[in-house]
Structure 1
Amino acid sequence: MIIDTLNTFHWKRELSGNVSSDVMVTSGDADPNLWLVVRVDKALTGTALINVYTSDTENIANPVLLHGITLPANAPAGYEYKVRLANGVKRYTRANVNNATAGTISVFLTSGITSK
């Protein structure tokens, strides 16, 4: 799996509450769609909710929800959630992580995934 920093929302982000990623500049839908990967790098405390939004404006005004992902409660290190990015990507995207009070997480896009 190739991880490009320009396609990374969160990289080994320490969680202590709700966090938002920087805004990622995209150019719309890819063909085929990229993979959205959520990886727990250090066990989480709480039930993390990851929302991926897209918008035509950089301030993410009038956001459209692409994905709402709920991880298992207290997800262990090494847990991964992988899904094809939904259609409808606009010019800008952002990923918010909510409800986890401790742990470390990575959220990124990639063109290929490693199967287990």
Structure 2
Amino acid sequence: MMIDKENVFFWKKAITANTNSEVVMNGEGGDAVVAPWLVIRIDADVTGTGLFNVYTSDKENMADAKLLTGVTLPANAKAGEERVMRIPAGAKKFIRINANNMTAGTITAFLTFDTNIAR
């Protein structure tokens, strides 16, 4: 799997509280092309029930952001836990992830156009 640093929300980020990711540009937005994969991975065991809310907006400052989808991990997820899914229809030009409900752990989240979902 190829990872482009411009498509990274979190990279081995230590989590101790509710945290917003970097904003990632999603081309011009829209649903005309095949959506990229969203990969969320636990790099070090987390404390709490990880909740990742994926927001989208037409503005880079995420003004008027809309919730696109949410991903909930099992309580106290262990290192190696991973979720891989397509970005849902309705994504606009910019995307950000809010990671919350965790008080410890390390996470990685990014977009990619190639992934091995049979892991």
TM-score bracket for this pair, using the shorter chain length: over 0.9
Percent identity between matched residues is 49
Say yes or no: does 1:65 pair with 2:63: no
Runs ≥4 residues deviating over 4 A: none
What TM-score, normalized by structure 2, do the two folds share? 0.92
Within-5 A mapping of 1:105-116: 105-114=107-116, 115-116=118-119
Provide the residue aligned with 1:31 in structure 2: 33
Unaligned runs of 5+ in 2: none
For the residues of structure 1 that align with 2:69 and 2:55, how far apart are their CA atoms?
7
Unaligned runs of 5+ in 1: none
Aligned length: 116
Shift of 1:24: 1.5
Say yes or no: does 1:10 pair with 2:5: no
Once the two structures are superposed, residues 24-81 of structure 1 have per-residue CA deviations (whole angstroms, 9 ceiling, x without a partner) of 2222146211110100000110001101101011221111111211110000000000
Instruction: Choose the corresponding residue for 2:80, options 58, 78, 93.
Output: 78
Aligned partners of 2:8 and 2:22 also within 8 Å: no
Provide the residue aligned with 1:48 in structure 2: 50
Provide the residue aligned with 2:19 in structure 1: 19
Aligned partners of 2:38 and 2:112 also within 8 Å: yes
